Structure 1
Amino acid sequence: MAAKLSIKSVVTAKPAMRLPLIGLGTLQANDDAVQNAIIAAVEAGYRHIDTAYNYYNEKAIGKALKTLFDSGKIKREELFITSKLPRTAMRPNLVEEYINRCLTDLQLQYVDLYLIHHPVGFEPCEEATPKDAEGYVRLDLTTDHVALWKAMEAQVDAGRAKAIGVSNFTPAQVDRILKNARIPPAVNQVEFHLYFQQKEMQVWSKKTGVNLTAYSPLGSPSLVGSFISNGTIDSSKGVGPLSDPVVGRIAKTHKKTPAQVLLRHIIQLGVVAIPKSSKPERVKENLQGSPNLVAILK
């Protein structure tokens, strides 16, 4: 039976947080494209924007948000904004500095959700991926999730983040945080799509109350195309969820696009989906498959 979802559909998390079931991902979007996409998304009904320090476009996102707020089309409290701590800042003394960088670029007083982007830290630096003379990534072997989490909790105490969470963590890694947390992680954002449904993670999520958010909910079609073109995968064996014949038949039957079918599937599992697109028409199209799933925060 299909889930009964309404225009106010959200998932709830501990501590009290109402997270819209569908959001806009902003990875790999250049400044002009991301500004246009965000304005189109909000006008279409999106209320959840997902970004990160390492996407290197938060200043552009901040400009788009300011344009929307100044126009009176939307209020800050009606949007849910997620950002993330980079791997090069995974030391307790750096968390406040980097969330402040995020807030300055986004032109916001707070983010609704702040995530530790990856469980493995890199040595602190201004580069995205620090490497040694031989080309190997310089890992930060001092990374301590529990100590880092205490610094994340301090951001909630200071009002810079309404809620905190993690991304790309294993259940065991989150369980260690849960055993030591004063404020539990609200979310674990992970790769999640038709071909990678994270069945064990879903069970763990229901048990712990740590909600799942799906990045790459369409299966990263641009990467599939790249792998096919360079011979990494055989196109006859790996087509990707968007080109899956079963998805195609379902889409045709219900007069939807394959992307709309894939997003609906994830959302009906109670998992938040954050498809990314820098094309305004595609941003709107992704919502049209499930218009009643747009969550308005009130």
Structure 2
Amino acid sequence: MSYEAFHDALRDTRFALNHGSGEMPAVGFGTLFSDLSVTTQAVKDALEAGFRHFDCAERYRNEERVGAAIKEVLEAGKIRREDVFITTKLWNTNHRPERVKPAFEASCRRLQVDAIDCYLIHTPFAFQPGENQDPRDEEGRVIYDSGVTLIETWRALERLVDEGRCKSIGLSDITLETLKEIVAVARIKPAVVQVESHPYLPEWELLEFCKQHGIVLLAFAPLGHGMEPKVLEDSVITGIAKRLQKTPAQVALAWSVQRGVAFLTTSATPSHIKENLDISTLPHRAMLEIKEDITTRIRFNSVVETGVPGFIPRKK
């Protein structure tokens, strides 16, 4: 009997959103690829495998390719639009309130959808508004926009919810401190907060705050993005994997969902796409080991300090 016969419901977990009636699938597929040409096939493979949450962004420059994949699968009649949860993000150069709605509508057009399930502010940092996504001065320093505050941008997102085409809104790459400031004054509270999180960056304090406010914490790089030190080579993770006949990736992803954190995983390899979905509930002892025996603490992406994404290469 293969371990796959022990399929339990962990992979089907959905987290309720605190406004609207929606639920976000805990298991999500990220669409940031260094090679944009793989996007459409990877998204089709992910839909085929059973992924129902797709995380996109204006900044990834491939929303059209994601949209083409989703449209093709929907038109084949295998999956309905209401079964697919689509998240996308407002980029830093569009923080000024008058730029928010046009940016949102452009994402909808590229993705070929009428509504977005969740719209996030990609980072709390406003960059110089304009067409250049990575505005820099002569010295190569980012040109920020001091003419807009995060709450003004947030108010523009709240208006999108009022208009009905955006079901929920949230923040990304944000610190607990800044999140608290927004939650304190928001008319519509953030439904989702997306940050880097994995066994080397568990973000327990942020998770606690999110749970108190009914906010879904969504982890990117839940496997450590393959960077050194490698999360998937940690002896605690590999030991649990061996014991349970799972892969280290499946252990780290199950840990995420079981502690109440949705995750995004990205791959263009069909076998990895399937592997990342094939998670099942870890025993209590394994959950404790990961919490107590892993002491390495590292953040792989410095975007929270600058608003410049660590995993997206700069355009030459």
Tell me the TM-score range normalised by the shorter chain.
0.7 to 0.9
Cα pair 1:26 1:278 within 8 Å, conserved? no
> Structure 1 pair 136/73, CA: closer, same or farther in 2 (3 Å)?
same
| Structure 1 residues 1-298: aligned runs within 5 Å | 5-6=9-10, 8-15=12-19, 16-221=21-226, 224=227, 238-290=228-280
What is the CA–CA distance in structure 2 between the aligned matches of 1:175 and 1:165, rounded to whole Å?
13
Cα pair 2:26 2:261 within 8 Å, conserved? yes
Which whole-Å deviations, capped at 9, do the CAs of 1:240-287 have from their partners, x for residues lacking one?
Answer: 111112211211111111111110111110000111112222111111
What is the CA–CA distance in structure 1 between the aligned matches of 2:231 and 2:12, rounded to whole Å?
28
Cα pair 2:27 2:264 within 8 Å, conserved? yes
Structure 1: runs of 5 or more not aligned? 225-237, 292-298
| Letter in structure 2 aligned against 1:71 | A
- How far off is 1:74 after superposition? 0.7
What is the CA–CA distance in structure 2 between the aligned matches of 1:176 and 1:245, rounded to whole Å?
38
Structure 1 partner of 2:288: none
What is the CA–CA distance in structure 1 between the aligned matches of 2:18 and 2:278, rounded to whole Å?
30
2:171 counterpart SS class? strand
| Letter in structure 1 aligned against 2:44 | I
Identity of aligned residues (%): 39
Structure 2: runs of 5 or more not aligned? 1-7, 282-316
What is the CA–CA distance in structure 1 between the aligned matches of 2:128 and 2:158, rounded to whole Å?
22
Q: CA RMSD in A?
A: 1.6
Q: Stretches of 4+ moved more than 4 A in 1?
A: 4-8
What is the CA–CA distance in structure 2 between the aligned matches of 1:278 and 1:143, rounded to whole Å?
38
> Structure 1 pair 94/133, CA: closer, same or farther in 2 (3 Å)?
same
1:278 counterpart SS class? coil
> Structure 1 pair 216/19, CA: closer, same or farther in 2 (3 Å)?
same
Superposition TM-score, scaled by structure 2 size: 0.83
What is the CA–CA distance in structure 2 between the aligned matches of 1:29 and 1:274, rounded to whole Å?
16
Superposition TM-score, scaled by structure 1 size: 0.87
2:224 counterpart SS class? coil
- More relative contact order in 1 or in 2 (CA 8 Å, sep 6+)? 1
What is the CA–CA distance in structure 1 between the aligned matches of 2:17 and 2:75, rounded to whole Å?
30
